[in-house]
């Protein structure tokens, strides 16, 4: 796997012409403050959200009550499209990690948009790539998987390589994301070291993106 392969798959706005994305973002817009739910697991799929700005996390609660942080989504993503299948409900919660803005697109309008813009295949590939990314985070050495997860988080947030990048996340959430225990995440953070990552009670700060790339490259090669 190359360095570029370690990054999240391109959001929908990168898969369609600018004018097509503009069609989705003409719908009514809503602002979600950090900590607020954009979508709730179990609800009917009446609409999708076109994320105009911000950063969100996708969290699924399993039947036994365990939670799994499935991924992070940033500007240009669509949210909730999987629940638009007949008789389907939302499979996960979506929570704002930062103040976020999204346009509310009714299900019928989105179906028409996909048909007119011939987006069935790109959306299928988007869903497939997300599943692949989740699988990659559950295989291999823990500190390399954690580096890969944090690198993808920075990319989803739309932030550049320079400077520090702070996120409101806990060790427990990172453990859920890469499917290990909390202690394993703590050890992995220690191994990455303060030159790469700084950690507080509910804060993860990426100090060096390039440092994470070097570590994640080892996971990719493995």
Q: What string of H, E and C letters represents the secondary structure of 114-170?
A: HHHCCCHHHHHHHHHHHHHHHHHCCCCCHHHHHHHHHHHHHHHCCCCCCCCEEECCC
Q: Does domain 137-221 fall into CATH 2.30.110.10?
A: no
pLDDT of residue 48: 94
Q: What residue spans define the domains of the chain?
A: 9-119, 137-221
CB of 55 within 8 A of CB of 156?
A: yes
**Mean pLDDT of residues grouped by 10 in the chain (222 residues)?**
51 85 94 97 94 96 93 93 79 96 94 86 82 87 95 85 80 95 96 94 92 78 37
Distance (Å, rounded) from C-alpha 68 to C-alpha 59? 6
pLDDT of residue 219: 52
DSSP letters for 23-54: HHTTS-EEEE-TT-EEE-TT-B--EEEEEEE-
pLDDT of residue 8: 55
Distance (Å, rounded) from C-alpha 41 to C-alpha 130? 18
pLDDT of residue 31: 98
CATH number for the 9-119 domain, one of 2.60.40.10, 2.60.120.10, 1.10.1660.10, 3.40.50.300?
Answer: 2.60.120.10
For residue 172, the SS3 value is helix
What is the value of pTM for the model shown? 0.88
């Amino acid at each position: 796997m190359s360095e570029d392969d370690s990054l999240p798959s391109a959001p929908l706005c990168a898969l369609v012409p600018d004018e097509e994305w503009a069609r989705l973002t003409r719908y009514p817009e809503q602002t979600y403050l950090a900590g607020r739910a954009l979508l709730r697991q179990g609800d009917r799929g009446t609409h999708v959200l076109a994320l105009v700005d911000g950063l969100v996390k996708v969290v699924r609660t399993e039947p036994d009550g365990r939670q799994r942080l499935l991924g992070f989504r940033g500007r240009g993503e669509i949210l909730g499209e999987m629940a638009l299948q007949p008789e389907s409900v939302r499979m996960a919660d979506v929570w704002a990690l930062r103040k976020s803005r999204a346009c509310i697109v009714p299900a019928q309008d989105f179906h028409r948009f996909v048909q007119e813009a011939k987006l069935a295949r790109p959306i299928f590939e988007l869903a497939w790539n997300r599943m692949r990314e989740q699988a990659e985070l559950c295989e291999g050495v823990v500190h390399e998987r954690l580096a890969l997860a944090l690198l993808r988080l920075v990319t989803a947030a739309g932030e550049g390589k320079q400077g520090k990048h702070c996120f409101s996340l806990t060790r427990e959430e990172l453990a859920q994301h890469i499917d290990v225990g909390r202690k394993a995440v703590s050890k992995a953070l220690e191994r990455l070291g303060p030159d790469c990552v700084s950690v507080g009670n509910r804060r993860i700060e990426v100090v060096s993106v390039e440092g994470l790339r070097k570590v994640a490259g080892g996971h990719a090669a493995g």
